[in-house]
């Protein structure tokens, strides 16, 4: 009985020690990473004992929240610019920064649309939209919108697109507008189009029509905790890579 009680006490001590080391980790991430990171987060929680709380939005909105003092430990951006924005203000840990993923840009229509598009210089965007509008992120600050503007400018149709643009506050918000049939077309990432059966990819933009789509990750300055470092390492691991690939991201 003494041995049983001693073993129970040791197990209880180990449990308390594990709980004491457990942490709650807040991760700010681009909206396009929602599905993949939720899967990765569940696996990380099960293996580490830490709790992960995600905040998904446009990279611009999240970067500005961090600048305003939001207590996130990890930031994942959908472009280099907003990570550079924080780096210039000394709000990330420079040595922790890593380029994780790539993506591609696509033109989507509602699933029941039969529109066909060939994305070549001067393509008939006006004919595709008719009296409707084109949804994408706000090019003034949302990464997908900036990539879209670059691509449309490269193809010579930005002047047609600009007055028709629905400037959504994130790529997922733009996707929803197409899903609901509120617009005849939208520009999103290929990975976003892949998570819903309510849109179809009408065409893929040439890779050279816009800047490379890159997702950097970094620790937030002043929030460099063991749990945060462990999460960054998990994102770079083979299991996370398999999840990202399953959702259509390319690995850097």
- Alpha-carbon distance of 206 to 195, in angstroms, equals 21
- Alpha-carbon distance of 171 to 193, in angstroms, equals 10
Which residues carry a binding-site annotation?
A: 32, 59, 171, 189
Q: In the chain, which residue ranges form alpha helices assigned H by DSSP?
A: 2-21, 34-48, 59-67, 80-88, 125-129, 143-154, 158-161, 171-179, 190-193, 226-235, 238-246
Q: Could you tell me if 185 and 108 are in contact, meaning their C-beta atoms sit under 8 angstroms apart?
A: yes
Tell me whether residue 215 is exposed, middle or buried, using C-beta atoms within 10 angstroms of its C-beta: 0 to 12, 13 to 18, 19 or more.
buried
Which residues carry a binding-site annotation for molybdate?
A: 32, 59, 171, 189
Q: Provide the Cα torsion 113, 181, 31, 34; round to 10°.
A: -70
């Amino acid at each position: 009985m003494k041995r049983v009680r001693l073993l129970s006490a040791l197990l209880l001590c180990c449990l308390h020690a594990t709980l004491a080391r457990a942490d709650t980790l807040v991760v700010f991430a681009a909206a396009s990473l929602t599905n993949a990171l939720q899967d990765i987060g569940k696996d990380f929680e099960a293996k580490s004992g830490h709790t992960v709380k995600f905040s998904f939005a446009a990279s611009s909105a999240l970067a500005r929240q961090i600048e305003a003092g939001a207590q996130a430990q990890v930031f994942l951006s959908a472009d280099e610019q907003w990570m550079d924005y924080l780096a210039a203000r000394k709000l990330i840990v420079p040595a922790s920064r890593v380029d994780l993923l790539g993506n591609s840009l696509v033109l989507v229509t509602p699933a029941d649309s039969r529109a066909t598009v060939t994305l070549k210089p001067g393509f008939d965007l006006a004919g595709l939209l008719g009296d409707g509008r084109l949804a994408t992120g706000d090019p003034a600050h949302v990464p997908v919108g900036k990539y879209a503007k670059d691509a449309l400018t490269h193809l010579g149709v930005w002047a047609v697109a600009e007055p028709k643009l629905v400037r959504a506050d994130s790529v997922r918000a733009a996707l929803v507008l197409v899903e609901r049939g509120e617009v005849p077309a939208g520009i999103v990432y290929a990975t976003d189009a892949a998570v819903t059966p309510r849109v179809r990819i009408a065409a893929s933009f040439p890779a050279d029509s816009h800047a490379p789509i890159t997702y950097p990750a970094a620790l937030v300055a002043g929030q460099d905790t063991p749990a945060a470092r462990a999460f960054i390492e998990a994102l770079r691991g083979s299991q996370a890579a398999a999840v990202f690939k399953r959702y259509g991201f390319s690995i850097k």
